[in-house]
Amino acid sequence: MPLYEYRCDDCAAEFETLVRSGEQVTCEKCGSHHLEKLLSAAAGRVSAGASLPIRSACPPSDAPPCSPGCCRLP
């Protein structure tokens, strides 16, 4: 079941809820069905001591330029 964030158009309450397939979501505060689905930041998990695979937009200095948008291309 995905977790979604919503904002109620009637009372402006913001909340998140688990949504089952085919379920009609209602505002937790006022019960309205007039809701706007919000964009949520993706949740990620990194083990202790590990780092994310992408640290910057540019490849290491000893690697070839990655693309036309790379900061090392003229």
The pLDDT assigned to 21 comes to: 84
C-alpha–C-alpha distance, residues 5 and 16, integer Å: 4
C-alpha–C-alpha distance, residues 3 and 24, integer Å: 14
Q: Is 14 a residue whose pLDDT tops 90?
A: yes
Q: Is 23 a residue whose pLDDT tops 80?
A: yes
Q: Is 42 a residue whose pLDDT tops 90?
A: no
Q: What is the pTM of this model?
A: 0.53
Longest Cα separation, the chain: 58
User: Between 40 and 22, whose confidence is greater?
Assistant: 22
3-state helix, strand, coil in the chain (%, to 5): 0, 20, 80
Confidence of residue 8 (pLDDT cuts 50, 70, 90): very high
Q: Which DSSP letter does residue 10 get? A: T
